[in-house]
A and B are shown apart, each in its own frame.
Chain A
Amino acid sequence: MFGDRLVDDSRLRFDPPEWHIAPLPPAGGGDPAACLMQSTIDMTPARLPAARMKERRPTSWITLAAALISLVALLPLAFIVWVAIQTGWDTVAALIFRARVGELLVNTVLLVLVTVPIAIVLSVALAWLTERSDLPGNRWWSWLSVAPLAIPAFVHSYAWISLVPGLHGLWAGVLVSVIAYFPFLYLPIAAALRRLDPALEDAAAALGLGPWRVFARVVLPQLRLAICGGSLLVGLHLLAEYGLYVFIRFDTFTTAIVDQFQSTFNGPAANMLAAVLVVCCLFLLALEVMIRGEERYARVGSGAARKQQRARLGRATLPCLLLPAGVALLSLGVPFVTVSRWLLAGGTEVWRWDEISLALGQTLFLAIAGAVLATLAAMPMAWISIRAPGPLQRLLESCNYIVGALPGVVTALALVTITVRVALPLYQTLFTILFGYALMFLPRALVSLRASIAQAPVELERAASSLGRSPVKALWSTTVRLSAPGAAAGMAMVALGITNELTATQMLAPNGTRTLAMAFWSYSGEIDYASAAPYALIMVAMSLPMTWWLYIQSKRMAGR
């Protein structure tokens, strides 16, 4: 039953790594029996006669709220379609079917095609070494393989460009992308490896397969969901990233959209590039659904799985150590060395405290407010996906995920144009930027919330209702409170996203806003790398605790 849930969950989601941690954190300390009970309790609402419950329960209101939020979330997409229609087919065709778009398409596709396989191989190797071998210090290496997530992608790129100034083009893009994004694959793969039942491997070995063939025929297929989800996430980040590729002069759709935005503000050319980028994103999403397949991965059989045995590396230990050490050197050592170097070169002069504290305050404020808004917006959807699942709910939920998968630049471009053209009072307001953040990061909040609502027994809601509370009050005094830890986790993930967000923030920010990322970008644009260094350091320092938390969660899920 436990396993069933896991598979079921992953089918619904478009897997950022944090989402892998979402399914059922251990209410019973990872004890399968407790989880089994849990899911039995969750099943009950579906079996109850719905009609009798209907008037007493707020399902329809909440469904309505969720539908409303999902519709609003579709605004950016609808907007691009609207602009295309308004622009007229001839102009659209002229703007889309031109050599420049072809170049960008080739660049973007090559980037994804080369980066993702390398990241997969690297992550599988690292995950196997840290989870399934007796590599010395494997816990450390495991943390060091997750830690690069705390460094924003554009800071990785900044570090590399100051180390190797001539770095540019596709291969530079692949190098920095792999380094910046492989943890998105490492996390789910390591988590999946940890919870594999070794009995399957034993059976394969008993049937005469050697260790390599066991790995290829038994272990690897079981990692399929993790690899698919992680690859999708890496792919979406590759499509959406701006700063990383500007530093190393590699043009993708996103950099070209920002160029057009800077040249024409909200001209049709930018919107049409955005349309092509959206199609690329949707293609990735569909591809992942197709490759993911429908196989069953859950374990059947009584009792708990035996503890896995770690493979002995023996004489291979030393060469094997080189891999995680090399990756850590490239992904953590390089940023550490360059940021320290610039800090030393800049001395005390670059610590302009008035500026820095202002940027820090504004960043924190936006991050917290955005996280609260995203979590509030995710609540109705999360609630119905647990309490009243069905085809409508799946449809609504996938709307939210699709919008969350869109690059920030697309969402921001749509919001700028909408507010300028039809909702001017909202233009350049705090509301609009927070709204943008909520759209972009809703899935992060949703997944965490859903997992914790699943653990809140529906009986409590009913008991509260039967004691005379109105439906909403009943919900408030039971499920909402019980899901607080999940909500907090989701908020942390959203806040992390907002802290390191650059493109949408620049386009939507109210006058006078200057976040850490904006300040970093502005200084590094004037190649004042020393002045940018303190901002890079602060962003990393703010992201580290949340990355650590992610790491701990992924460990806890496997019951360790």
Chain B
Amino acid sequence: MKIALSTLAGAALALGLIAGPAIAEDQGIIVYNAQHESLAKEWAKGFTKETGIKVTLRNGGDSDFSNQIVAEGAASPADVFLTENSPAMALVEAAGLFAPVDAETLAQVPQEYQPSTGKWVGVAARSTVFAYNKDKLKADQLPKSLLDLADPSWKGRWAASPSGADFQAIVSALLELKGEAATADWLKAMKENFTAYKGNSTVMKAVNAGEIDGGVIYHYYYFGDQAKTGENSRNVALHYFKNQDPGAFVSISGGGVLASSKHPKEAQAFLKWVTGKGGQDVLKTGTSYEYAVGKDAQSNPKLVPLADLQAPKVDPARLNSKKVIELMTQAGLL
């Protein structure tokens, strides 16, 4: 067995030697990216072009990455963490795993798009919308509030993607604004009323096809599809809840540098670039259609201006993803 084992070990070693360069060649900084892959790729490309620092993206979702970083602790291979929503950032921050963001970077973003702690910073923003099928719903039939969707009259008529961090962020805002009991009740009613899809694009596609009247998603899926062929959004219109309704929640996508990063300088530089002119311009001119959050940065002119959305005031650092998962699991949504 000694020889069998050493043969095995030798083979494994040889594999590692061949594979090491194949998969793990100089990776530069490692970004755990929960943002849309295409957006993060553009950021990485622009940053590498300007600074020569290589960026390796590991793609995943907000919640799995945040929990993963917590599980990895100080040994996390990640240098930077980018999310679509704030709750995941709050989770990592609560575990004390973020290094403070450079002051220069923080100065590039207005106060309202960053947590008071300065442990991470907003890199983009997205608005909750009710995307509906124009042939099935008239303007006066639209829900006035997100809470209306709990009404039995909406049974079987709306969709969402409960397994995604996007929707979970919306629930976390609801939890922060209306409290635990009201949220639990709303989720229970949701379980009765709604139809589950996997992914917001899929929700919009179903709305477009008339499979369902409407769905709770974020705004940019619509604009992204319109810019391409429009084949999944032709019959779709967006309804903004406004009035500081929980359904008018604007979710801040965050970026942070891990305290355990082995390349803190490069990681900070990346975050600075993303929140700076280069990174924010990608949001304006690219295909992501997410809102830019940098000072003086412009969002794509096709979007309803961020200032007009009448979003409720929610401190992003207080969004509690753990509780949300717990409530959603209890309601049988997960």
Q: Once bound together, how far apart are the Cα atoms of A469 and B24, in whole Å?
A: 41
Q: Complex: how many Å from CA A95 to CA B328? A: 12
- The complex places the Cα of A45 from the Cα of B58 at a distance, in Å, of 53
Instruction: Name the contact of B37 in the complex, choosing from A65, A260, A269, A522 (C-beta under 8 A).
Output: A522
Tell whether A362 pairs with B22 under 8 Å between CB atoms, given A64-B1, A265-B71.
yes
Within 8 Å CB of A269, what residues of B? 329, 334
Which residue in B72, B325, B330 is a CB contact (below 8 Å) of A263? B325
The answer to whether B56 has its CB under 8 Å from any CB of chain A is: yes
* Interface segment, one of A198-206, A294-302, A506-514: A506-514
| A510 near B24: Cβ-Cβ < 8 Å | yes
Q: Answer whether residue B227 sits at the interface, using C-beta atoms and an 8 A cutoff.
A: no
Contact pick for A427, options B12, B72, B329, CB 8 Å? B72
Report Cα–Cα, A511/B25, bound state, in Å: 10
Report A-chain residues with C-beta under 8 Å of the C-beta of B328.
263
B51 at interface (Cβ–Cβ under 8 A)? no
The A interface is mostly helix, strand or loop, or mixed, namely helix
Interface set, chain A 261-294, CB cutoff 8 A to B = 261-267, 269
Q: Quick check: which of A19-27, A368-376, A403-411 contacts chain B, the rest being far away?
A: A368-376
Nearest CB to that of B199 among chain A residues? A525
A361 at interface by CB-CB < 8 Å: yes
Question: Are B198 and A369 touching (Cβ within 8 A)?
Answer: no
| Residue of A103, A380, A510 with most partner-chain B CB within 10 A | A510
Give B177-213 interface residues, CB cut-off 8 Å to A: 196-199, 201-202, 205-206, 209, 211
Flag whether A221 is at the interface (Cβ < 8 A): no
Q: Are B3 and A427 closer than 8 Å at their CB atoms?
A: no
Tell yes or no: B97 within 8 A of A by CB: no
Verify if B304 is at the interface (C-beta below 8 Å from A).
no
Would B63 and A165 count as touching, CB distance under 8 A? no
Bound-state CA distance A513–B24 (Å) is 9
Cβ contacts under 8 Å, A100 to chain B: 329, 332-334
> Once the chains are docked, how many angstroms separate the CA of A421 from the CA of B71?
8
Chain A residues, Cβ within 8 Å of B19: 365, 369, 430
A527 near B232 with CB under 8 A, answer: yes
Are A428 and B196 in touch, CB under 8 angstroms? no
Residues on B with beta carbons closer than 8 Å to the beta carbon of A522: 37, 59
Interface centre among A98, A256, A261, A264 (most CB of B within 10 A): A264
Rounded to whole Å, the gap between the CB of A153 and the closest CB of chain B is 16
B19 vs chain A, min Cβ distance (A): 5
Q: Check A265–B64 contact: CB distance below 8 A.
A: yes
What is the interface residue range for chain A against chain B?
A: 35 or more
A232 to B269, CA, bound (A): 55
Contact A428 B75 (CB under 8 A): no
A509-534 vs B, CB cutoff 8 Å, 1 = contact: the mask equals 01111000000001001110000000
Please measure, in the bound complex, the distance between the C-alpha atom of A376 and the C-alpha atom of B11, giving whole angstroms: 9
C-alpha spacing A291/B176, complex, angstroms? 55
Q: Is the CB of B325 within 8 A of A373?
A: no
Collect the chain A residues with CB atoms within 8 Å of residue B332's CB.
98-100, 103
Q: Given A165-B209, A265-B67, verify A527-B201 contact (CB < 8 Å).
A: yes
- A434 pairs with B36, CB closer than 8 A: no
Tell whether B5 is near chain A: CB-to-CB under 8 Å: yes
Cα(A109)–Cα(B153), bound, Å: 32
Does A83 sit at the interface, judged by CB under 8 A?
Answer: no
B72: which A residues are within 8 A, CB to CB? 420, 424, 427
Interface residue SS majority, chain B: helix
Chain A residues in 8 Å Cβ range of B307: none
Compute the total of residue contacts between A and B using a CB distance below 8 Å: 141
CA distance A522 to B77 in the complex (A): 22
Contact A526 B198 (CB under 8 A): no
Map CB proximity to B onto A357-390 as digits: 1 under 8 Å, 0 otherwise.
0000110010001001100110110000000000
- A519's nearest neighbour on chain B, judged by CB, is B37
> Complex: how many Å from CA A166 to CA B333?
22
A249 to B196, Cβ gap below 8 A? Answer: yes
From residue B206, how far is it (CB to closest CB) to chain A in Å? 8
Are the C-beta atoms of A65 and B4 separated by less than 8 Å?
yes
Instruction: Answer yes or no: A330 CB below 8 A from chain B CBs.
Output: no
* B67 x A267 contact (CB < 8 A): yes
Q: Is A61 an interface position by the 8 A CB rule?
A: yes
- A527 with B205: in contact, given A262-B61, A263-B325, A511-B77 (CB under 8 Å)? yes
CB neighbours (8 Å) of B124 from chain A are none
In the bound complex, residues from chain A placing their C-beta under 8 Å from that of B20 are 430
Per-position contact with B for A448-481: 1 when CB-CB < 8 Å, else 0?
A: 0000000000000000000000001000000000
Docked complex Cα distance between A427 and B60 (Å): 16
Q: How far is the CA of A267 from the CA of B128 in the complex (A)?
A: 28
Q: How far is the CA of A380 from the CA of B22 in the complex (A)?
A: 30
- Do residues B334 and A512 form an inter-chain contact, with CB atoms below 8 A? no
Does A246 have its Cβ within 8 Å of any Cβ on chain B? yes
Interface pair B15/A430, CB less than 8 Å apart: yes
Choice from B24, B65, B164, B202 contacting A527 with Cβ under 8 Å: B202
Chain B's closest residue to A249 (CB) is B197
Whether B163 and A263, one on each chain, are in contact in the complex, defined by CB atoms closer than 8 angstroms, is yes
Question: Using a CB–CB distance below 8 Å, which chain B residues touch chain A?
Answer: 1-5, 7-8, 11-12, 15-16, 18-20, 22-24, 27, 30, 36-38, 56-61, 63-68, 70-72, 75, 77, 163-165, 168, 196-199, 201-202, 205-206, 209, 211, 232, 325, 328-330, 332-334
- 5 A-B pairs with CB atoms under 8 Å apart are A249-B197, A362-B22, A373-B11, A427-B75, A428-B77
- Contacts beyond the supplied A65-B1, A100-B333, A263-B163: 10 A-B pairs with Cβ under 8 Å: A65-B4, A246-B198, A263-B328, A265-B67, A265-B68, A365-B19, A424-B75, A511-B56, A511-B77, A527-B205
The 8 closest A-B pairs by CB, nearest first: A265-B67, A259-B163, A100-B332, A61-B1, A527-B201, A263-B63, A420-B71, A65-B1
